[in-house]
Structure 1
């Protein structure tokens, strides 16, 4: 089986969820008194980058950057100032230089929003898209 097929197969495995706690601050709240869309997207970005730094080896972290290509957000409930929330992040799959994530922003057992996002891995030296090695991708599906 080729490495490309291996990476596609890896995406069919269930990744270990990455939990990223956040608290809604005054800067996160819009004019309606609810957490604004930008805050949800910022939390997902922080969670993805935290996940990368937590799981990937230090040399891979130093050699790669991540750029968000797209986010699709679905709101279920409003978040409010002071809410203790958690971004529950799942790494879904890799396709070429792209990584696909699903995040649920939760308050306890209640899901406030779900975000599907696509990220591009960038070589930090050449600033071009870069594929991740299979052994690095496999780390996202291993028990931590």
Structure 2
């Protein structure tokens, strides 16, 4: 199941080279992942668990300038492995061309204990449909 969210580059997102700064792309990756979690997960799961990034692998393909927009598409390609889940993200510009592609790895944390746990089947299922 693919989830989408649109982003528009604001003046504060732009670096000295005149395009969206790499750190902003990382923030947007986190923002779309979090929005996907909140939109799809059972509210009881949102209350019980939190996700933390353990790895980002990002390909910066083309610049995005001030005022330009890109739509993030994110999905979970494979079932979780233990406490970890890989997430794919692709940002596509208004012209249909990709700007950034990323694979990020997230680990689930039990809010009550502060410790990682195996991703429960019922947590993963809605994202794999």
User: If the length of structure 2 is used for normalisation, what is the TM-score?
Assistant: 0.94
Q: 1:131 aligns with which of 102, 118, 127?
A: 118
State the aligned residue count. 127
Partner SS for 1:140 = helix
Is 1:44 the counterpart of 2:29? The answer is yes
- Runs of at least 5 residues in structure 2 that lack an aligned partner in the other structure: none
Aligned equivalent of 1:107 = 93
Distance 1:73 1:54 in 2: 24
1:110-141 alpha-carbon deviations (Å, 9 max, x no partner): 10010110011100111100222212211112
User: For the aligned residues, what is the CA RMSD?
Assistant: 1.0
Q: 1:29 aligns with which of 1, 10, 14?
A: 14
User: If the length of structure 1 is used for normalisation, what is the TM-score?
Assistant: 0.85
Shift in Å, 1:32: 0.7
Contact 2:77–2:128 (Cα < 8 Å) also in 1: no
Contact 2:53–2:106 (Cα < 8 Å) also in 1: yes
Distance 1:131 1:51 in 2: 20
1:41-96 alpha-carbon deviations (Å, 9 max, x no partner): 10010111111111110000000011111101111110111111111101123111
Aligned equivalent of 1:56 = 41
